[in-house]
């Protein structure tokens, strides 16, 4: 996919820094203005209109408004946008980001988008183009429409747009048609890992180092936000999703390894949570340099993967690094090994790394539509069980089931029982809690009895690797492996036996404790058993 040529604006700030005590800009009502109507009175404190601290110590409680000034003059910018720009200048010593614009700017963009879309539809009616060619044609048409509009302003006796403003509009139009519209500048922000959007409230940005910043809302009303989400849901014809009152939950994987989850109608305001993968090429050695694991764990886990041990990676809460560690484990596979990834939405993206994985069948589930059929599934629905079964027709040597949240547990059992060393992730509060979590999901989402579920866990899972996240004295988040346990069959009355292979050391980081039962298998893959004698681990060693 080619990248359109625009002047380099990446160094210009979009946000100002904030902390827990920072003032939050005013929430706008459905009309796009701050107020004291029901939305404000019933809103939690975060979304009520507080005083806004502006640069220079000036405080204002006024609503964001526009005065209809000419775009090139900057007079159409709301007080909040101006405050952000001034804070950005103060912090970075640079002008405010031209992409940070008010509602009037985006109304103009939406108006011109219709004209570009109409011209693009007409042009595509007579020829077939691939994605890259469509984007190139779209860029050409965008520039034509912007020039025509600018000429019309001049012919009508109005002040035309400056070249800088034309660049802004051109970029915004391209984002609106081919990227993520008003969301794109947020996605492009360096170091952002999570984005939280609640209606028309300021957007909360969670950075990789633990910092929090706010940005302008991406919609002027809840209805506009819903329309935008429905556009994203329907844009991929190969995996179109429904987002309606009847189906108020939406999960999407977006370009650039971006995950989006949204909910509407059953919440006071539409809610969107976006997660981004910043480490897009990762292996265990990189995680060692990041102090997520030590040298002993690098050698141990790499050998376990090569020895085809089935591993469940777990962590407490979102952002603990489960998927990143799973992808790092996959990096230890032979590049020519035939792999199938089974996911609800793409998170592993092994199929996008041909230098590491040359034979990947990346399967994801698909929502059905319409009424339930006699089998209890919607027409067109493809679940994880079907994908696991069908993947075996493609000469697959290893099946990897991504995150297990519920019904995927049966697929995970199926993949692990093949004995080829499957990998999965699951949420839990500790390594031992993973066993109970897996059994609970199996009992709830299938016809398995509890006794049989325990037996399945004991037969299927070899290792559980658990990650913790702490906030250090420097305020940054630190992710690290704290436990590795072996799971085997237990004695009568105790279906699962657990051995602590690595336990938390004095600082919580995993250190060797007990030799696993399959040590000979690891040694056959080149593991040096003497590493398990380093009872304090090798954390921080080069």
pLDDT at 129: 85
Sequence-ordered alpha helix ranges (H) in 419-538: 431-444, 450-460, 519-524
Residues 6+ apart with CB under 8 A from 399: 339, 340, 342, 388, 391, 392, 414, 415, 418, 420, 422
Bridge partner residues of 477 (DSSP): 471
pLDDT tens column, 291-320: 999 999 999 999 999 999 999 999 987 778
Q: Can you tell me the mean pLDDT for 225-247?
A: 83
pLDDT at 87: 33
Q: Return the closest-CA partner of residue 533 out of 291, 307, 300, 290.
A: 300
Distance CA 419, CA 408 (A): 18
> Side by side, which strands form the sheet with 359-364?
359-364, 338-343, 398-401
* CA 251 remoteness from chain centre: 10
**According to the 3-state scheme, what is the secondary structure of 345-395?**
CCCCCHHHCCCCCCEEEEEECECCEEEECCCCCEECCECHHHHHHHHHHHC
Q: Can you tell me the mean pLDDT for 342-364?
A: 93
Average pLDDT, the chain: 80
Residue pointed to by tokens 């009895």: 449
Of all residues in the chain, the percent with pLDDT exceeding 90 is: 47
Q: Return the closest-CA partner of residue 34 out of 199, 181, 182, 184.
A: 199
Q: Looking at per-residue confidence, does 220 or 43 come out higher?
A: 220
Q: Return the closest-CA partner of residue 169 out of 237, 72, 83.
A: 72
pLDDT at 117: 85
Q: Is the pLDDT of residue 73 over 80?
A: no
Query: How many CB atoms sit inside 10 A of residue 294's CB?
Result: 27
Q: Return the closest-CA partner of residue 314 out of 434, 416, 194.
A: 434
pLDDT at 8: 45
Q: 235-259 burial, b for 16+ CB within 10 Å, e for fewer?
A: eeeebebebeeeeeebbbbbeebbb
Cβ atoms of 259 and 252 closer than 8 Å: yes
Q: Can you tell me the mean pLDDT for 18-26?
A: 45
pLDDT tens column, 390-430: 998 999 999 999 889 888 898 999 899 888 899 999 999 99
- The token pair at 171 is 């970029």
Distance CA 240, CA 54 (A): 43
Distance CA 520, CA 497 (A): 20
**Full set of structural domains in the chain with CATH:** 16-276 (3.30.450.90), 284-334+403-528 (3.40.50.300)
pLDDT tens column, 96-118: 344 456 677 888 888 898 899 88
Q: Can you tell me the mean pLDDT for 169-189?
A: 88
Q: 364-377 burial, b for 16+ CB within 10 Å, e for fewer?
A: bbbbbeeeeeeeee
Q: Is the pLDDT of residue 246 over 80?
A: yes
Q: Is the pLDDT of residue 38 over 50?
A: no
Distance CA 193, CA 476 (A): 13
Ramachandran class of 420: left when φ > 0, alpha when ψ lies in -120 to 50, beta otherwise: alpha
pLDDT at 430: 94
Distance CA 52, CA 55 (A): 10
Q: Is the pLDDT of residue 382 over 70?
A: yes
pLDDT at 237: 62
**DSSP label at 392?**
G
Q: Look at 16-25, 85-94, 145-154 and tell me which has the smallest mean pLDDT.
A: 85-94
- The token pair at 295 is 């040298």
Q: Is the pLDDT of residue 91 over 50?
A: no
Q: Look at 4-18, 124-138, 388-402 and tell me which has the smallest mean pLDDT.
A: 4-18
Distance CA 107, CA 102 (A): 9
pLDDT at 70: 32
Cβ atoms of 73 and 161 closer than 8 Å: no
pLDDT tens column, 260-290: 999 999 999 999 999 988 777 899 999 999 9
Q: Return the closest-CA partner of residue 183 out of 223, 138, 232.
A: 232
The most confident of 30-44, 179-193, 244-258, 331-345, by mean pLDDT: 331-345
Query: How many CB atoms sit inside 10 A of residue 46's CB?
Result: 12
pLDDT tens column, 251-262: 988 888 888 999
Q: Looking at per-residue confidence, does 348 or 56 come out higher?
A: 348
Q: Can you tell me the mean pLDDT for 25-48?
A: 38
Of all residues in the chain, the percent with pLDDT exceeding 70 is: 78
Residues 6+ apart with CB under 8 A from 71: 104, 105, 108, 161, 165
pLDDT at 375: 65
- The token pair at 34 is 């701050």
Q: Look at 62-66, 302-306, 390-394, 512-516 and tell me which has the smallest mean pLDDT.
A: 62-66
Cβ atoms of 469 and 324 closer than 8 Å: no
Q: Is the pLDDT of residue 367 over 80?
A: no
Q: Is the pLDDT of residue 89 over 50?
A: no
pLDDT tens column, 209-230: 788 999 989 888 999 899 889 9
- The token pair at 534 is 């380093």
pLDDT tens column, 463-481: 999 999 987 766 677 899 9
Computed on alpha carbons and rounded to an integer, the radius of gyration of the chain in Å comes to: 26
């Amino acid at each position: 996919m080619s990248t359109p040529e625009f002047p380099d604006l990446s160094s210009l700030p979009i946000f100002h820094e904030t902390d827990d005590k920072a003032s939050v800009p005013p929430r706008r009502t459905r009309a796009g203005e701050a107020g004291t109507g029901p939305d404000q009175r019933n809103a939690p404190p975060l979304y009520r209109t507080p005083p806004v601290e502006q640069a220079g110590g000036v405080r204002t409680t006024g609503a964001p408004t526009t005065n209809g000034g000419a775009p090139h003059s900057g007079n159409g910018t709301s007080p909040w946008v101006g405050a952000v720009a001034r804070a950005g200048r103060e912090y970075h010593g640079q002008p405010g980001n031209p992409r940070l614009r008010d509602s009037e700017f985006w109304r103009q963009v939406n108006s011109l988008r219709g004209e570009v879309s109409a011209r693009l539809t007409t042009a595509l009616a007579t020829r077939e183009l691939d994605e890259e060619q469509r984007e190139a044609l779209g860029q050409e048409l965008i520039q034509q429409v912007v020039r025509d509009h600018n000429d019309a302003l001049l012919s009508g006796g109005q002040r035309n747009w400056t070249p800088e403003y034309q660049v802004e509009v051109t970029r915004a139009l391209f984002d609106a048609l081919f990227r993520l519209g008003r969301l794109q500048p947020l996605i492009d922000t360096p170091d952002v890992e999570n984005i939280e959007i609640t209606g028309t409230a300021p957007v909360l940005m969670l950075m990789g180092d633990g910092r929090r910043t706010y940005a302008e809302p991406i919609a002027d009303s809840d209805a506009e936000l819903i329309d935008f989400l429905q556009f994203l849901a329907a844009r991929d014809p190969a995996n179109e999703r429904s987002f309606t009152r009847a189906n108020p939950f939406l999960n999407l994987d977006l370009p650039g390894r971006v995950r989006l989850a949204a909910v509407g109608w059953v919440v006071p305001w539409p809610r969107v949570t976006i997660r981004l993968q910043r480490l897009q090429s990762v292996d265990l050695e990189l995680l060692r340099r990041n102090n997520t694991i030590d040298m002993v764990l690098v050698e141990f886990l790499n050998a376990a993967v090569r020895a085809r041990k089935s591993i469940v990676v777990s962590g407490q809460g979102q952002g603990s690094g489960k998927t990143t560690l799973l992808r790092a484990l996959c990096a230890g596979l032979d590049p020519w090994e035939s792999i199938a990834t089974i996911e609800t939405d793409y998170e592993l993206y092994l199929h996008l790394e041909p230098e590491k994985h040359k034979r990947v069948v990346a399967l994801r589930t698909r929502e059905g539509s319409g009424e339930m059929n006699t089998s209890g599934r919607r027409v067109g629905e493809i679940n994880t069980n079907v994908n696991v079964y069908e993947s075996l027709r493609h000469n697959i040597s290893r099946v990897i089931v991504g995150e297990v949240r519920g019904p995927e547990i049966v697929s995970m059992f199926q993949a692990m029982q093949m004995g080829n060393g499957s990998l999965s992730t699951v949420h839990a509060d500790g390594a031992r809690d993973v066993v109970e979590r897996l059994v609970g999901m199996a009992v709830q989402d299938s016809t398995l009895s509890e006794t049989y579920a325990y037996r399945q866990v004991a037969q299927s899972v070899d290792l559980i690797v658990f990650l913790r996240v702490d906030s250090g004295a420097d305020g940054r988040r630190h992710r690290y492996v704290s436990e590795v346990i072996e799971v085997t069959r237990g004695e009568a009355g105790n279906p699962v036996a657990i051995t602590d292979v690595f336990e938390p050391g004095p600082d919580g980081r995993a250190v060797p404790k007990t030799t696993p039962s399959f040590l000979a298998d690891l040694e056959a893959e080149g593991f040096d058993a003497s590493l398990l004698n380093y009872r304090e681990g090798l954390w921080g060693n080069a």
